[in-house]
Chains A and B, each alone.
Chain A
Amino acid sequence: MIDLDVAQRNLWQDIDPHGNLLYCFSCSTCVVGCPASNAIPPLLIRNLVRSVTLGLEDDLLDNDTPWTCVTCSRCEEMCPMGVDPFEIVLALRRWQCRNDETRIPMAAAEIYKRGYTQPVDKAQEVRASVGLTEPLPTINRLPELHQQFKDMLMQVEIIHNADYMFED
Chain B
Amino acid sequence: MAYGLFLGCNMPAIRPDVEKAIRLTMPALGVELLDMEGYVCCPAFGTFPSLDEEAHLAVSAWNLSIGEKKGVDILVECGSCYRSLRSGKRCLDQHEAHRKRANELLAKTGRSYEGKATPRHISDVLLHEVGLSTIRAAVKKPLGGLRAVVQYPCHTLFPHKTVGFEESSVRPHGLADLVEALGASVEHFSAEYQCCGGAGGFHGSSKAEANAFAKTKLDAIIAETRADLIVVSCITCLMHLDNVQKELSRDGASYAIPVFDYNQLLALCMGFDAQQVASLCTVPRQAIVNALR
List A residues at the B interface (Cβ < 8 Å). 35-36, 38-40, 64, 67-74, 76-77, 90, 93-94, 97, 104-105, 107-108, 110-111, 115-120, 122-123, 126-127, 129-132, 136-139, 142, 145-146, 148-149, 151-153, 155-159
Q: Which residues from A are CB-within-8-Å of B200?
A: 36, 67-71
Question: How far is it, in angstroms, between the C-alpha of A93 and the C-alpha of B52 when the chains are bound?
Answer: 9
Q: Which of A70, A97, A118, A129 contacts B52 (CB 8 A)?
A: A97
Listed from nearest, the 7 A-B pairs whose CB atoms lie closest are: A72-B154, A39-B206, A118-B13, A73-B158, A70-B200, A93-B50, A118-B9
- Report yes or no: B37 in contact with A97, Cβ–Cβ below 8 A: no
CB within 8 Å for A77 and B51 given contacts A117-B9, A155-B105, A156-B58: no
Are A149 and B62 interface neighbours, CB within 8 A?
yes
The proximity string for B residues 128-155 relative to A, scoring 1 for CB distances below 8 Å and 0 otherwise, is: 0000000000000000000000000011
Would you call B51 and A97 a contact (CB within 8 A)?
yes
B252 in contact (CB, < 8 A) = no
Once the chains bind, are A117 and B58 in contact (CB under 8 Å)? Answer: no
Highest count of chain A CB atoms <10 Å: which of B155, B195, B199: B195
User: In the complex, are the beta carbons of B12 and A108 less than 8 A apart?
Assistant: no
Q: How far is the CA of A71 from the CA of B203 in the complex (A)?
A: 12
Number of interface residues of B (CB under 8 A): 68
Whether B201 lies near A69 (C-beta < 8 A) is yes
A118 partner residues in chain B, CB cutoff 8 A: 9-10, 12-14
Question: In the complex, which of the residues B40, B197, B205 contacts A115, with contact meaning CB atoms closer than 8 Å?
Answer: B40
A68-B200, A123-B14, A157-B52 given. 11 additional CB < 8 A pairs? A38-B202, A40-B206, A40-B208, A67-B201, A68-B205, A71-B83, A73-B155, A117-B44, A118-B14, A152-B105, A159-B51
How many angstroms between the C-alpha atoms of A146 and B108 in the bound complex?
12
Q: Give the nearest-CB partner of A98 in chain B.
A: B52
Stretch of B175-183, B253-261, B275-283 at the chain-chain interface: B275-283
User: When the two chains form their complex, are residues A70 and B9 in contact, meaning their CB atoms are under 8 A apart?
Assistant: no
Q: A77-B169, A120-B12, A126-B280 are in contact. Are A72 and B195 (CB under 8 A)?
A: yes
Could you tell me if B12 and A123 are in contact, using CB atoms closer than 8 angstroms? yes
- B50 and A90 within 8 A (CB): yes
Would you call B41 an interface residue if the criterion is a C-beta within 8 Å of the partner chain's C-beta atoms?
Answer: yes
Instruction: Check B35 against A131 for contact (C-beta < 8 Å).
Output: no
The reply to whether the CB of B212 lies closer than 8 angstroms to some CB of chain A is yes
Known contacts A38-B209, A132-B20; is A149 also within 8 Å of B40 by CB? yes
Q: Which B residues from 41 to 57 make CB contacts under 8 A with A?
A: 41, 43-55
CB atoms of A90 and B195 under 8 A apart: no
Partner of A139, one of B39, B45, B48, B80: B39
Q: Are B169 and A90 in contact (CB under 8 A)?
A: no
B residues in contact with A142, CB < 8 Å: 37-38
- Interface contact B105-A39, CB-CB below 8 Å: no
Kindly provide the distance from the CB of A161 to the nearest chain B CB, expressed in whole angstroms. 11
In the bound complex, do residue A116 and residue B13 qualify as a contact, i.e. CB atoms below 8 Å apart? yes
The chain A residue sitting closest to B216, CB to CB, is A38
8 A-B pairs within 8 Å (CB atoms) are namely A36-B200, A70-B201, A108-B48, A111-B41, A116-B41, A118-B9, A118-B14, A152-B106
Residues of the A chain whose Cβ atoms lie less than 8 Å from the Cβ of B169: 77
